[in-house]
Amino acid sequence: MKTYILATQNRDKIKEFKNKLGAAICLKTLDDYPNIPDVLEDGTTLEENALKKAREINAFTGLPAIADDTGLEVDALDGAPGVYSSRFAGESASYQDNVIKLLNELKGLKMEQRSARFRTSIAFVDSREAWSVHGSVEGFILEHPKGEDGFGYDPVFYYEPLQKTFSELDLDTKNTISHRGKAIDAFIHKLKELNQI
């Protein structure tokens, strides 16, 4: 079984990746390397950030590296917060801080004006190649959070076909329809094509 490193310490992301990848690969994370340097995410796109993280973590560990970057694009905000989603309310913002700022920015808008999408780019880098895959999902931003599960903007991201927020979905259901779930599916497909798993 091949060993890969997932370039994150985010427990929620790790859970989603492991849920999808199952026993197909041995997945290490940044938690396995306490002295690993931080990667400055200064790209202008999700793909740039994901590739940069994967390159730097691959160079440091020598392991094939997987990195993702995810953004929420809100049409009424001209695509913001986008690449700045995790730090929308500031560099050390919590999930709740970001959601509160988003809801304040959209205050007074009707549901049809609150369209949004999640996008994820997943990058892979090893000693021979570098590539990326993508996933997205359309939805709307509710006026108030709903649901107990999920993370980030999940409590206010309303998925119309199921009439629920991402926080109201169990992990298996969310991973079937979500931006990251779709990107991980595309990632697994590409690994199989390249005989990496």
Number of domains present in the structure of the chain: 1
What's the pLDDT at 51? 97
CATH of the domain at 154: 3.90.950.10
Q: Which residue from 167, 158, 112 is spatially nearest to 139, judged by alpha carbons?
A: 158
Assess whether the previous peptide bond of 161 is cis (omega < 30° from 0): no
Q: Can you give the residue range of the structural domain that contains 168?
A: 3-193
Angle (deg, nearest 10), helices 11-21 and 179-193: 50
- The pLDDT tens digits for 14-61 are 988 888 887 778 899 999 998 998 899 899 999 999 999 999 999 999
Distance CA 34, CA 20 (A): 25
Tens-binned pLDDT, residue by residue, of the chain (197 aa)? 889 999 998 898 898 888 888 777 889 999 999 899 889 989 999 999 999 999 999 999 999 999 999 999 999 999 999 999 999 999 889 999 999 999 999 999 999 999 999 999 999 999 999 999 999 999 999 999 999 988 999 999 999 999 999 999 998 899 999 999 999 999 999 988 988 77
Residue 195, C-beta contacts closer than 8 angstroms, at least 6 positions apart? none
Distance CA 184, CA 135 (A): 8
The owner of tokens 């959601």 is: 99
Q: 102 in helix, strand or coil?
A: helix
What's the pLDDT at 149? 87
Q: Which pair of tokens denotes residue 152? A: 């980030």
Annotated catalytic residue within 31, 38, 42, 69: 69
Active site residue 69: yes
Question: Model's pTM, two decimal places?
Answer: 0.91
User: Is there a contact between 123 and 49 (Cβ–Cβ < 8 Å)?
Assistant: no
What's the pLDDT at 145? 96
In the chain, the amino acid numbered 128 is: R
What's the pLDDT at 194? 87
